[in-house]
Amino acid sequence: MKISRILHAGYVFDSGGTRIMFDPVFENPFSRNCHAFPDVRFELAQVRALRPDAVFISHFHDDHCSLESLDLLDRATPIYLYCLFDELFAMIRELGFADVRPLALDVPVRVGGFEVIARRALDADVDSMFQIRAEGLNVLNVVDSWMDPETLEQLKPYAPWDMVLWPFQTMREVDVIAPSRAVPGPVELPEEWPEQLHALAPRYVVPSSCQFNQEPWSWYNHAMFPITYRRFEQAVAEWLPSARVVRLNPSVAVELTADALLPAAPLPWVVPVGDQDIDFAYDPDIVPPPTSEIAQHFAALTAEQTAQVLAFCRSGLLERYQDMELPEESYFATPCVWQLSLYDHAGAVQQFRYTIHGDSIALAGDEEAPTWMTEIPMAKLYAGLALGESLTSMYMRIAGAPADADIVDDPLIRTLFNDAFAAYQAAQLRRIKERAAPQG
């Protein structure tokens, strides 16, 4: 069985003349500001010439299911997707793929000599993981999900596993959105990991599912990625002395047999750029720059785009908020004043204040001081509205929220994302169709 790394959670598996792909992304950057780490470029003409026997997609997040990447593949390729929502299947079919199939948990899918079984992740409404079998070998691709305890019991009888692709990076998304809540000092590895890896008893462990960082100037690169490759390898060596940690950088391939793991020819269409043995550089004491400074890294909006953002703040946000049902235990269930600050490309700020009580919201003056404050670059708010940009790349920042309040109750987060399933893919599809439309 040949196993090759594309990027992030993307892999190619070859066995007996059959080739299958998992979560393929052929973009750099992807998800708008996820930059390959280590750096690569793609030979897109070669990608277009690929004829995989099947593509398996673990879940709908845009760093795993990108229509821009799928658009490069032959439309006869069968697409197997784990997703509970029909909309994404419809989008992939609208892209031109004729054979798009839902994955059911614990139901084997056979493609050539491969058997692929989607397994339950901890958040089964979103994620799945894959058991991949061929040539008498057993590989577990955990993708980027947390292991469900019942699934672990289900997978124990298959131990020792030949290889486990393990999501080793514990991203600190909430800490960069609300820096005042970040706990200073080093970050511990999850306490569940040693028990889980002991139960699986893999021969080989691949640190997987986080081969990216943000823009080179971004403070996120030192605040959101606390686990280094080096630290993960040292920890696994302590937990599983008989296992070997294998780093697969983009394009790198190995041949897995019952007795050994051998180097194999790299993917020719993934081209490494620069040093490939770099590591994450977490700084637990980093001081985040002000949002006014971050906003200056983004291009100015057009007058039309600016008008769209301001109209949302004055009316669209209020309409969306009032259409949603607030959880009873939310901080906003009691009267409060919320301030939304928008920073333009020059770092200048424009502020809106709202009075909020439960499901009721209204614009307010500046007579009363805010108790919950949200900041965001204006360009990123536009990207969230028009381009389906995801929360972790928007440089939103929350201050003043009590420690016991739920960050995702933030009114801007709720109005942008509560009813925004597959917004990123929908924006991708619109752009792809516009490019394909005849020019008149």
CB 13 within 8 A of CB 49: no
- Please say if the pLDDT value at position 419 is more than 80: no
pLDDT in tens, 19-56: 999 999 999 999 989 999 999 999 999 999 999 999 99
* pLDDT at residue 298 in the model: 97
DSSP string of 138-205, one letter each residue:
EEEE-TTPPBPHHHHHHHGGGPSPSEEEEE-----HHHHHSGGGPPPSPPPPPTHHHHHHHHH--SEE
Band (pLDDT 50/70/90 cuts) for residue 255 is: very high
* Euclidean distance between CA atoms 65 and 48, whole angstroms: 17
Rg (CA), the chain: 23
- Please say if the pLDDT value at position 440 is more than 80: no
Q: Identify the CATH class of 291-436.
A: alpha beta
* Euclidean distance between CA atoms 148 and 166, whole angstroms: 14
Residue type, 3: I
The two beta strands, 108-111 and 100-102, are unpaired
Mean pLDDT in the chain? 95
Residues 6 or more apart in contact with residue 65 via CB below 8 angstroms: 23, 57, 59, 81, 83, 88, 425
- Please say if the pLDDT value at position 380 is more than 80: yes
Percentage of the residues of the chain whose pLDDT score is greater than 70: 100
CB 18 within 8 A of CB 114: yes
* pLDDT at residue 328 in the model: 85
38 cis-preceded (ω within 30 degrees of 0): yes
Band (pLDDT 50/70/90 cuts) for residue 186 is: confident
User: In the chain, where are the structural domains located?
Assistant: 2-272, 291-436
The mean per-residue pLDDT over the stretch 356-379 comes to 95
Band (pLDDT 50/70/90 cuts) for residue 3 is: very high
CB-based burial of residue 256 (10 Å sphere; 0-12 exposed, 13-18 middle, 19+ buried)? buried
Go through the chain and tell me how many residues it has. Answer: 440
Q: Taking phi first (over 0 means left), then psi (-120 to 50 degrees means alpha), and beta for anything else, what does residue 17 get?
A: left
pLDDT in tens, 395-412: 999 998 888 899 999 999
CB 334 within 8 A of CB 352: no
Query: Is CATH 3.20.20.70 the classification given to domain 2-272?
Result: no
* Euclidean distance between CA atoms 15 and 255, whole angstroms: 10
* Euclidean distance between CA atoms 3 and 257, whole angstroms: 11
- Please say if the pLDDT value at position 439 is more than 90: no
* pLDDT at residue 100 in the model: 98
The mean per-residue pLDDT over the stretch 105-122 comes to 98
The mean per-residue pLDDT over the stretch 222-242 comes to 97
* pLDDT at residue 318 in the model: 97
* Euclidean distance between CA atoms 22 and 12, whole angstroms: 7
Q: Which residues pair with 432 in a beta bridge?
A: none
The mean per-residue pLDDT over the stretch 324-341 comes to 93
Percentage of the residues of the chain whose pLDDT score is greater than 90: 90
CB-based burial of residue 122 (10 Å sphere; 0-12 exposed, 13-18 middle, 19+ buried)? middle
* pLDDT at residue 301 in the model: 98
